[in-house]
Amino acid sequence: MEFSQSDFDRLLLSEHNRKTAEANYAKDPLDADNLTRWGEALLELSQFESVSDSKKIINEAISKFEEALAKGDFDKASECFQRAVDEEPTNELYQKSLEVSTKAPELHMELHKHGINQQTLGGGSSASSAQSSKKKSSDLKYDIFGWAILAVGIVAWVGMANSRIPPPPAR
C-alpha cells in the first residue's frame, strides 16, 4: 500500500496522538476528553490498515468512546447523589450512595482493564473474540443505562419523599 505525503503525515500525526493519549491515560484513566482523543486517533489509524486489522482498531476505538461516555454518566450520578445528601444530610442511604458513586468510575476502570487483559491473553478464535466483544459492548451499555436509571430513580424517590413530609404545625 503506497501513501501520498499527506497520507503519511496523517499517519504520523495520528500515531503521535494515539501514543500521547495512551500516556495520558496512564496518568488519568478517568479523563473523558483524553479517551475521546484516543478513540479519534484510532479511527484515523484504522484507515491505513488491512480490513481485518482495521476492524480490530475500530472496535478498540469504540471501546474508548464507550468508556468516555460511562465517565459522564458516573459524574451525573454523583451529582444526583450529592443533591440528595444536600437535601437530607442525615440520611445514611444517601451518604452511602454518594460514597459508592464516587468510587464507581475507578471500579469500572478496573473491571474494564481486567476484561481487556483477559481478551488479549485469552487468544481464542476470531469468532469467539468477536462474540465476546459484542457481549462486552452490550454489557457496558447495560451498565451505563443501569447507573442512569438508578440515579433517576433515587432523585425521583427523594423528590417524592420531600413532597410527602407534612409541614410543621402552625403555632
**Each residue's pLDDT tens digit, 98-152:** 887 777 777 766 766 666 544 444 444 444 455 555 666 677 777 777 787 887 7
Between 39 and 171, the more confident residue is 39
CA angle at 39 for the pair 17 and 136, rounded to the nearest 5°: 145
Model confidence at 96: pLDDT above 50: yes
Between 20 and 157, the more confident residue is 20
**Cα–Cα distance measured from residue 7 to residue 82, given in angstroms and rounded to the nearest whole number:** 48
Give how far the C-alpha of residue 83 lies from the chain's centroid of Cα atoms, to the nearest Å. Answer: 23
